Amino acid sequence: MVRVLFYTAVEGDLVPLARAVRAVLQEERGKLTVVARARRDVCGSAGEEALLAAARECDFVFLHLMGGPESLPGFDAVASVARERGIALHAQPTAAEDDTALRALSTVSDSDYDLLRRYVSYGGSTNFAALLRWCLWRAGRAAPPPPPEPVPWEGIYHPRLGRFVTPEAFWAAVAPGKPVVALLFYQSWWLAENLAFIDQLVSAVEARGAVALPVFLYATPSAALGSRGIAWVVANFLCRDGKPAVDAVISTLMFAQTQATPTYNRQAPENFYLTLGVPVVKAIAAVTARDEWVASLQGLAPLDVIMSMALPEFDGQLITVPVAFREETERDPLTGATLVRYRPDAERTVKVAALAVNWARLKRLPPGERRVAVILHNYPPRTDRIGCAFGLDTPASLFRLLMALRDAGFRVEGLPEDPAALFRLVLAGMTNDTAWLPSEEMARRAVGKVPPEKYQEWFAGLPEAVRERLQENWGPPPGEVLSYRGKLLVPGRVFGNVFVGLQPPRGFDAQAEAAYHSPDLSPPYQYLAFYRWLKEEFGADVVLHLGKHGTLEWLPGKSAGLAATCFPDVALGELPNVYPYIVNNPGEGTQAKRRAWACVVDHLVPVMTGAGRYGELEVIETLCREYQEARQLDPGKLPVLEKRIWEQVVKSSLDRDLSVDEEAAFADFPAFVERLHGYLHEIGDSLIRDGLHILGEVPAGERLVEMLLSLCRLPHGEVPALREAVAAALGYNYEALAAAPGRWWPEFGATGAALLEKVEERCRECLRRLAAAGFARESVPALVAAVCGRAVPEVEWMLGFVAEEVWPRLRATEGEVGACVGALAGQYVPPGPAGAPTRGRLDVLPTGRNFYSVDPQAVPTRAAWEVGKSLAAALLTRYLAARGTYPENVGLVIWATTEMRTGGENVAAALYLLGVAPVWEEATGRVKGLRVISREELGRPRVDVTLRVSGLFRDTFLNVVHLLDDAVRLVAALEEPENPVRRNFQAAFTAALQAGKDQATASEEALFRIFSDPPGAYGAGVNHLVDNKNWEKEADLATAYLVWGGYAYGRRVYAREAKAVFARRLATLDCTVKNEDSREVDIFDDDCFYAYHGGMVAAARAFGAAPLSFVGDSSDPRRVQVRTLAEEARRLFRARVLNPKYIAGMKRHGFKGAGDLSRMVDYIFGWDATARVIEDWMYAGLAARYLFDPEMRTWFAAVNPWALAHIAARLLEAIARGLWKADAATRQEIEAVYLEMEGYIEERLGGEFSGGGGGRAGAGSGSG
């Protein structure tokens, strides 16, 4: 009896192998036994042992791997057994991969290896039968086998036209003039006749009046085997006469096809999808079992998220939903293999087919017939927040977009003369803000009204589960949100074939109590009616959501791989969705891609510039310089200067920033001045935004110089940072100056800050001259000599890099609008990376691309590990200095966006706190496991962690959640001194047992460290309470924090309700931290910052803890810093919030700039409500700068009086809640400003509808 073991990582091998075994045994009965196993059979130690045991009993072992030896757990053991026992071992990769390593580890001869490789690579039952006959022949039990029989590697398959159709026959058989949708699928599925879901896709495409072109292929070219590869297939099957012959593509292929990713090395000579130029829609053939998908709000498992979402995004594919599920059909009695098929999901197949056909029709429609819906975000639903895209001048960008559409032949009518006039038209229509107009006037202004009978018809067509959920949350339709006399109202304006509308309210403002108990509140009826109206009444062919970010992609439903009952799916349906999005936010953009099938068109960040100095800070900085000079030249002046400096410090509250009193300052005044001067330099050197970005607008003039300067702050690979190169040219040690900017340097006769400013100005001058020279590379040597006084190769290198790389990439961002127009015309948007440009990520430019994020399997990367260790070490140093001991429980907030930008720095920090390190595969960078760092190597006690991860992190990095959970379990099992993880585990375990829980439950709960939202929900909840003024005391905020975050996640648990465990963890926090990796965004830029981190602080305090709270800063990964939350708030107030430079930048953008300032005040207030880090001088500064300045009041009144009314209302709330101890005169002055703005608003509204003003007195836009 000849015994054969066949292991394959390609499940498609199993069915033809089973057929081959049957065929051979019919002729060679009793001579052969075959054991077949797949990848899933060898997971875990038991599977590895079973594979090894099978190998010991066999004569021939075949290993068909997807990768090298490391891709098969237990490979080394099997190979060792084969060598020891003389077993014939043949190990090979998939068809076209390099086989050098595996060939060397095989025991068969090279000639046999070549023959066997062809048998396995060609595949199919005929070749597998020949392979088995080769084994019998080698064992002397049969005649020689036939040679390998080549099989088609690529071709057209069509269920109606035949199994293998020539292109000529296909095109002759289909009707001309219809949209053509290509379907790409694997040759192995064709070979195994695993085609039921392809047949259904074909049928669904054709049912919608399009032509389906199904093409099977092997993705990698191989001359030896005869496969031509996907690029050839696209050029020869999807094109005719060298021109694209298809209007859209549905790809069922996994991984990325056009480029290498960190853990999947595919080299493509070019992006063939770009050459094709049509949308590529990703249909997911899921390895997740359908029953699991149906039952779980997780949706798809991590492997599907990686293979069929994250990696295809590197191609610019548009991610959709699962159309088929891997199904174990039977266990083959002869081989023991579990045979699998892909079972189609009929409803989801129709969904994807309809979406693809809609993209294809969009491409075919004449421009003048395309109907476009542009959606402006409006959160919270206040007038001042209409078009609230982060970092984007929405009115100006909308205007540029509409003009470009008109120029491209789209029918755009009634477009006014400028962005301000355009937004006046939008504001003159109905908005989502119910505070200022009576309901009848809102109804009059509505662009559309959905009558009861129409909505009842729509409602009846919804899935039953959706109908029940809506009625449970909102009562019978149509509900009360934006309804009038039974009609649901639609806000917006129509400009010919373009509709400009406001995204509907999410609902938490209308159901304020829901934030305490229903994080997964369904959207109101009006929300769904709005999107249905777009499709059925306006007739939209495509929708564009303008800027980061809306609420559609965050609606309740599965995390990944949506079903028909998921609310984003219900709302959007099959509408193509184009989404301009800021390039530095890959996380939230990814949410739009995966839960709203968005075609992202990324856009540039606003111009970044140094904060500089102003007002009192400039006065004090000048006094510090005078003091340092007087110490050297005129010591007699020192007492007078000391008095003046201290008076100014107290007047400006800088003594609070530095935590110093008069006695301490005067105990060593030179040291105090050095510290003060250094702090002022830090503030002035901080990067802040200079206004907002406008789609397609390239910075010019001094703003271009500032942007280039910010892009050159950090090195780019081997190219040095411009500052450091110029400093060296001037004879300065940049590191020394940056480490002590307040120090006096006698050899230069100046402070470090003054020298650094000199360096900065020389850098600026270099860039000015380079821009004036048109960025000509040949101008660089002369301008460097002129600015630096001599030739400096390092500076020339950097400026040459600016001329040849930085400027061309930056200039190309003018293509953002064109990319949007192209997407709206059904064209392909090429992919590009996402990240923070000012953090050394020049590769994210040019913008105007469909960004992708990271390969989750490579998180944390090696680089992120080093930065994460530094962040953790800096945190412990700060804590140790404050408390004299190490923390035992650190609360760490982790978001998906920061991990995507950095490759996992916060994950790395958490691991390092625990004392655990990642282990990477050398060849791929994939994290394959963990190792415990010894106590000796660590050099400190381990630190326990409590992780509050975002709902998006849960969705996109579930594999990393498992990794973190593994780390906790590893450390909890270590019996060593000073191990708080084990000590806390044992204490919690004992307490749970005493509470009556069984041992298994007690042990599991005692290990919970990773907490997030309940399934289908996102956020921390606290912000909804603050926005809607729906809280009284800290305990209210804590309740919401638990409700939204009290669900445990790990390798063995998914969304286990664990509010009590979470509360106990929060009650023992020693410190909290959230690390920030970029200065392009800060803690006053989004309510999520205070909701997650401030909410953690508030909850911990409410439960009895008194944690220190920190903010890590890795914006320069080489020089990480950790500040307290209070220090960060003060720094930002001085660098940005009160800075005339920042305010002037926002004022350039009129309505949007004012609205962003208003929302910033909300965030500041939120930080005080939660973490209590806003001091009276800060509130007073806000009032003085924004409310009491006559020029600012006049500007607000002209561009956005709603914004200033809201700022006034929020400051009055701070006074009323006792957060700001303002005097009565100040309160009265704020009230006067509010009333003044209310008058402006009522006058403005009253002049635009008959019947006079309708504003409700005292109900300003801040009422929520």
State the pLDDT at residue 18.
Answer: 95
Q: Which of 794, 824, 853 is the last residue of a domain?
A: 853
What is the residue range of 1222's domain? 1144-1158+1176-1264
Helix residue ranges per DSSP H, 860-895:
862-883
Does 768 share its domain with 908?
no
Q: Is 629 a member of any domain?
A: no
Q: How far apart are CA 796 and CA 777, in angstroms?
A: 9
613-653 pLDDT tens trace: 999 999 999 999 999 999 999 999 999 999 999 999 999 99
Does 263 share its domain with 371?
no
Q: Is 255 a member of any domain?
A: yes
Helix residue ranges per DSSP H, 30-183:
44-56, 75-85, 100-105, 110-122, 124-138, 167-173
Q: Is 64 a member of any domain?
A: yes
Q: CATH number of the domain that 59 lies in?
A: 3.40.50.2300
Question: Residue 619's CB: how many other CB atoms inside 10 A?
Answer: 16
State the pLDDT at residue 1141.
Answer: 98
391-416 pLDDT tens trace: 999 999 999 999 999 999 999 999 99
Q: Look at residue 262 and tell me whether its pLDDT is greater than 70.
A: no
1195-1225 pLDDT tens trace: 999 999 999 999 999 999 999 999 999 999 9
1067-1077 pLDDT tens trace: 999 999 999 99
**DSSP string spanning 765-821?**
HHHHHHHHTTT-GGGHHHHHHHHHSS--HHHHHHHHHIIIIIHHHHHGGGGHHHHHH
Confidence grade of residue 270 (pLDDT, cut at 50, 70, 90): confident
Among 536, 594, 209, smallest CA distance to 364 is for 209
Distances from the Cα of 841 to the Cα of 715, 834, 835, 846, 933, angstroms: 10, 8, 6, 11, 31
Confidence grade of residue 265 (pLDDT, cut at 50, 70, 90): low
State the pLDDT at residue 267.
Answer: 58
Q: Is 106 a member of any domain?
A: yes
Q: How far apart are CA 228 and CA 1011, in angstroms?
A: 48
Length of the chain: 1264
Which of 769-782 are b and which e, b meaning 16 or more Cβ less than 10 Å from the residue's Cβ? Answer: bbbeeebeeebbbe
Q: Look at residue 42 and tell me whether its pLDDT is greater than 60.
A: yes
Q: Is 684 a member of any domain?
A: no
Does 384 share its domain with 511?
yes
State the pLDDT at residue 104.
Answer: 96
Please give the backbone phi and psi of residue 243, each rounded to the nearest 5 degrees, phi first: -120, 150
- The CA-based diameter of the chain, rounded to the nearest angstrom, is 111
Task: Give the residue, 863 or 510, on which the prediction is more confident.
Answer: 863
Which of 1099-1124 are b and which e, b meaning 16 or more Cβ less than 10 Å from the residue's Cβ? Answer: bbbbbebebbbbbbbbbbbeebbbbb
1009-1060 pLDDT tens trace: 999 999 989 999 999 999 999 999 999 999 999 999 999 999 999 999 999 9
Does 818 share its domain with 717?
yes
Counting the structural domains of the chain, the total is 6
Task: Report the pLDDT averaged over residues 1161-1181.
Answer: 98
Q: Look at residue 686 and tell me whether its pLDDT is greater than 50.
A: yes
Q: How far apart are CA 1061 and CA 1046, in angstroms?
A: 8
State the pLDDT at residue 174.
Answer: 94
Task: Report the pLDDT averaged over residues 489-513.
Answer: 95
Does 253 share its domain with 338?
yes
Q: How far apart are CA 828 and CA 271, in angstroms?
A: 11
Work out the percent of the chain whose per-residue pLDDT is above 70. 98
Among 795, 900, 780, smallest CA distance to 841 is for 900
Q: Look at residue 1256 and tell me whether its pLDDT is greater than 50.
A: no
Q: Look at residue 180 and tell me whether its pLDDT is greater than 70.
A: yes
State the pLDDT at residue 263.
Answer: 61
Task: Report the pLDDT averaged over residues 497-522.
Answer: 93
Element (H, E) at 197: helix 196-207
Q: CATH number of the domain that 237 lies in?
A: 3.40.50
Lowest mean pLDDT among 177-181, 218-222, 366-370: 218-222
Does 65 share its domain with 36?
yes
Does 1017 share its domain with 868?
yes
Q: Which two tokens stand for residue 598?
A: 């968005």
Mean per-residue pLDDT of the chain: 95
Look up tokens 């020029």; give the residue.
1191
Q: Which of 292, 327, 361 is the last residue of a domain?
A: 361
Q: How far apart are CA 963 and CA 965, in angstroms?
A: 5
Q: Is 890 a member of any domain?
A: yes
Q: Which of 113, 138, 163 is the last residue of a domain?
A: 138
Q: How far apart are CA 510 and CA 475, in angstroms?
A: 13
Residue 1048 CB partners (closer than 8 Å, separation 6+)? 1005, 1008, 1010, 1011, 1055, 1056, 1058, 1061, 1062
Q: Is 648 a member of any domain?
A: no
Confidence grade of residue 1260 (pLDDT, cut at 50, 70, 90): very low
Q: How far apart are CA 495 and CA 152, in angstroms?
A: 53
State the pLDDT at residue 330.
Answer: 87
Does 472 share its domain with 515?
yes
Task: Report the pLDDT averaged over residues 1221-1239.
Answer: 97
Does 773 share its domain with 883?
no
State the pLDDT at residue 67.
Answer: 84
Q: Look at residue 1257 and tell me whether its pLDDT is greater than 60.
A: no
Burial class (CB in 10 A: 0-12, 13-18, 19+), 143: exposed
Task: Report the pLDDT averaged over residues 1087-1103.
Answer: 98
Does 352 share its domain with 374?
no
Please give the backbone phi and psi of residue 841, each rounded to the nearest 5 degrees, phi first: -100, 65
SS3 750: strand
Residues 907 and 899: beta-carbon distance below 8 Å: yes
Cα–chain center distance at 214: 33
Does 847 share its domain with 876?
no
Q: Is 341 a member of any domain?
A: yes
Confidence grade of residue 1250 (pLDDT, cut at 50, 70, 90): very low
Residues 493 and 447: beta-carbon distance below 8 Å: yes
Q: Look at residue 205 and tell me whether its pLDDT is greater than 90.
A: yes
Q: Give me the residues paired with residue 1056 across strands.
A: 1048
Q: Look at residue 317 and tell me whether its pLDDT is greater than 70.
A: yes
Does 327 share its domain with 405?
no
Q: Look at residue 266 and tell me whether its pLDDT is greater than 80.
A: no
Confidence grade of residue 264 (pLDDT, cut at 50, 70, 90): low
1098-1146 pLDDT tens trace: 999 999 999 999 999 999 999 999 999 999 999 999 999 999 999 999 9
